[in-house]
Amino acid sequence: MDDMDGDRTTADISDRVAHVFGEATPHPRHTVWPAREDQYLQKGVTEQDVDRWVQSACLLCSNGCGADIAVKDGVMVGIRGRAGDTVNHGRLGPKGLYGSTPWAASPDRLRRPLVRENGRLVETDWATAMGRVVEESKRLLAEKGPLSHGFYTSGQLFLEEYYTLAVIGKAGLGTPHMDGNTRLCTATSAAAFKESFGADGQPGSYTDIEHCDAIFLFGHNMPETQTVLWTRILDRTGGDNPPRVVCVDPRHTAVADEADRTGGVHLAPRVGTNLALMNGLTRELLENEWVDLHWVDAHTIGLDDLRKTVEPYTPDHVAEICGTSPDDLRKAARIFGESSAVLSTVLQGFYQSHQATAASVAVHNLHLLRGMIGRPGAGVLQMNGQPTAQNNRECGADGDLPGFRNWENPAHVQQLADAWNVDVMTIPHWAPPTHAMQIMSYAETGSIGFLWISATNPAVSMPESARIRKLLAGDQCFVVVQDLFLTETAELADVVLPAAGWGEKTGCFTNVNRVVHLSEQAVEPPGEARSDLDIFLMYADAMGFTDQEDQPLIGWRTPEEAFDAWTAITAGRPVDYTGLTYDKLRGPSGIPWPVNDEHPYGTDRLYTDGVFPTDTETCETFGHDLQTGGVVTEQEHRALAPSGRAFLKGAPYTPAHEAPSEDFPLLFTTGRTVFQFHTRTKTGRSRSLNRAAADAWVEMSVVDAAALGVAEGDWVRVESPRGAIEVRARIGRVMQGAVFAPFHYGHWDPDDLADAGHRSANELTMTVWDPVSKQPYFKTAACRVTALRPGDGAAPAPTTTASAPARGRLPATTGGAPTSSHVLARAPHYELDPSQRSD
């Protein structure tokens, strides 16, 4: 491993591995979050050495913290938070600080294209590599038509790249087989918005944290997934008049600790039972008349059906299903029912679990019942995992139509056909877009014979990874991979295209809170690597895609031109970018959409007037039955006459697909650590982060470990009906009966670790998905654990996070010694833009 980010000592408070959240800046309710400018420069670099700072935002989670990149001698050497940015007020977390730049100069970057010759990948030039891609693409188009083509992209490209890819797929080729790894992380967020409010789009605002008096986190380990956002909450809970925190999570995370500390409650439902818990909370609101009936009458439909659906879920019944205390459920419901402004956040504990969309929609139901949406402090944040997942959903590279358009609405499809000047029948709209799991099944059979994977690593991140690796390696499908490194997926490709990464190209991306940032190119990419936009344009040129006048289908050459084309296509849609330009985004802060003549400075929160995009002509979907996924037809939707009202929707709880059995008596669930991002393509190349979480582990409860004779650090074998891993055990704070494993680890760095081939958590997970969002389940599978042999010390799990040991003390996880210019905390100087004020 290359030591790109130097050494740091363990004792220093500025070690943001040991002290993840940094210096606290507590403040009272209804006051502005103080600024704190965090900065990190690589070893040997001082501020005076920095040649220039280049505007950007952090690309290592969906929070999208505003940041500047430090450049010295043409190399990215550090990062600092932008104090004027509405998202982070200058803060950066450990991933952003230590993981943003070291990967870029890593010696194992892909510098030239690769093609497979006699079973081996060999270097070649662009003409040869793209020539093979185009030759195979044209051959299959001629023989089988556009359905032979599939595209599987990412949550980490830029808006301009997604939009260009969407136009290629939908108007150039005409294939419905497009999706992204956003299907694994954020599809349920989009689906839940569509079902409740008619269209995707985050209703709430981060500024709701400043105004709420209760915060509910549903399946959201925020301290490890959106670290800076959790810092924002800690600064409220540490100040005067703090909100109470309610944690819904089977693990005892830092959120659970904060719930205890603030007088809230920690509800730990059995893995796979979220919906029963949510039905119980909903029933409590109704039973206790904690409902704003006047608001509900005016702004929602579906109350009677919802009441019937949740009626059986008494606190005692919920306790039987979920293993939670009836009194805790009552207490949580009372907090929701009696607070003046509740903010809810939702993430993978709900999205990647059984009955994902129904459980996430149930969070909306709680807010709608209380009329708590669209006003300061009262909002929902259905979170994303990845930094640009939102753009994939907006632009249509995930299969949806660009601009939150409804594929079943002929007028919406015609708008795109007119904009692109193509025959409307070219644009696939005869069936729902193909979701990622189905794309892989088609690739497995060869029905899709051409699969282009960009900026993602399904060989590690998709469920049942042995199956994924096999289908990618097979001869039945020609696989193109475009990435920064020779990932576990790229190793299996027929052609590998070297891509430029963050800081090496220009483009925009939108965080989970609708805030759009411009990220400017800071340095040149290595070797012959090219931006993803340039690669897509190269393919479009070579394929000769044209419009109805035989003009090039894609009329843009630069990121800014692509952005302008995108803003035009959003006119009149909820996701309205028409008031945004690159120049406007060069100001002190990112700007939340919609941005248009009515809202020239952006929009802090949606639905302030209680009017939702649910009209039949406007909505992005006509909706689904949340239990079965059965579609609501246009006629049925029209008959409901939603007229701008939100939907209250429910579903009964059903047991998860794979329950524990005699052979597999434990529940297997996967998740994240604060120190790694996805499959570690970037963060695994930061020495500080890698020291903090270098290798895989599993967490077991004290009781289960004792029963199996497993001690801290022992090697164990964890098996499901689909595969096995051999890793070390942390005796942690996971609930009894459950086994937790981080999903980040594949085998790209086996030179460092002899066991690396047997540590991928997705060897064990299942090929099964939510009926509405099609998001696969990573949180519910059965497993067994066998003790193998003693380890040589503690497990490689962090000790400063939810992975901390349950008992006893271990040395604190640290990243190392301070560099010449480590984390700085500067005086607050943040001023709210008038458009961002909530009070």
Binding site for ligand SF4 (CB under 6 A): 58, 60-61, 63-65, 88, 92-93, 95-96, 226-228
Task: Give the nearer residue to ligand SF4 in terms of CB position, either 96 or 113.
Answer: 96
Q: Which is nearer to ligand SF4, 39 or 426 (CB)?
A: 39
CA–CA separation, 151 vs 454, rounded Å?
8
d(C-alpha 509, C-alpha 511), whole Å = 7
Q: What is the DSSP string of 420-466?
A: HTS-GGGS--SSPPPPHHHHHHHHHHTSS-EEEEES--HHHHSSSHH
Between CA 122 and CA 814 the distance in angstroms is: 40
What does each C-alpha distance from 437 to 348, 418, 433, 466 come to in angstroms?
A: 18, 31, 12, 14
Hey, what are 267's tokens?
Answer: 């509800």
Beta bridge partners of 729: 698
CB of 832 to ligand SF4, least distance (A): 19
Q: Which is nearer to ligand SF4, 96 or 399 (by Cβ)?
A: 96
- Closest approach of Cβ 17 to ligand SF4, in Å? 13
Question: How does strand 646-647 pair with strand 300-301?
Answer: parallel
* Tokens representing residue 774 in the block: 């099609």
Cβ proximity to ligand SF4: between 453 and 515 the closer is: 515
Q: Judge whether 796 and 697 are in contact, CB under 8 Å.
A: yes
Q: Which is nearer to ligand SF4, 63 or 465 (CB)?
A: 63
Closest CB 89 distance from ligand SF4, rounded Å? 11
CB-nearer residue toward ligand SF4: 90 or 559: 90
- Any idea which residue has 């998001």 for tokens? 775
The minimum distance between CB 363 and ligand SF4, in angstroms, equals: 22
- Shortest distance, position 65 Cβ to ligand SF4, whole Å: 3
Which residue is at the shortest CB distance from ligand SF4?
96
Are residues 274 and 313 in contact, defined by beta-carbon separation less than 8 angstroms?
no
Torsion of the alpha carbons at 707, 713, 717 and 722, rounded to the nearest 10: 110
**CA distances (Å), origin 499, targets 434, 467, 749:** 26, 26, 20
CB of 223 or CB of 403, closer to ligand SF4? 223
Inter-axis angle of helices 356-369 and 274-287, to 10 degrees?
20
Q: Residue 618 in contact with residue 597, Cβ under 8 Å?
A: no
CB of 106 to ligand SF4, least distance (A): 19
Q: Are 424 and 411 in contact (CB under 8 A)?
A: no
Q: Which is nearer to ligand SF4, 386 or 701 (CB)?
A: 386
Dihedral class, residue 838 (left if φ above 0, else alpha if ψ from -120 to 50, else beta): alpha
Q: How far is the CB of 104 from ligand SF4 (least distance, A)?
A: 15
Minimum Å gap between C-beta 67 and ligand SF4 is 7
- What is d(CA 299, CA 367) in angstroms, rounded to the nearest whole number? 12
To ligand SF4, the closest distance from the beta carbon of 23 in angstroms equals: 15
Of the pair 133, 159, the CB lying nearest ligand SF4 is at: 159
Closest approach of ligand SF4 to the CB of residue 227, in Å: 5
Minimum CB–partner distance for residue 97 and ligand SF4 (Å): 7
The answer to whether residues 706 and 636 touch, using CB atoms and an 8 Å cutoff, is no
Nearer Cβ to ligand SF4 (339/348): 348
Shortest reach from residue 674's CB to ligand SF4, in Å: 9
Q: Which is nearer to ligand SF4, 92 or 698 (CB)?
A: 92
The whole-angstrom separation of Cα 415 and Cα 422 is: 11
Phi-psi region of 678 (alpha: psi -120 to 50; beta: other; left: phi over 0): left
Residue 342 has which token pair?
């509740």
E strand intervals along 485-626: 495-498, 507-510, 515-519, 591-592
Question: In this complex, which beta carbon is closest to ligand SF4, that of residue 65 or of residue 192?
Answer: 65
Residue 230: HSE in the Cβ half-sphere, 13 Å Cα cutoff: 26
Q: Which of 60, 256 has the CB closer to ligand SF4?
A: 60
Please, are residues 116 and 12 in contact by the beta-carbon 8 Å criterion? no
Residue 230 vs 653, nearer CB to ligand SF4? 230
**CA 518, 519, 524, 527 torsion-angle sign:** negative
How far apart are the C-alpha atoms of 300 and 303, rounded to whole Å? 8
Phi, psi torsion values for 831, nearest 5 degrees: -120, 130
Cβ proximity to ligand SF4, 96 vs 816, nearer residue: 96
CB of 535 to ligand SF4, least distance (A): 25
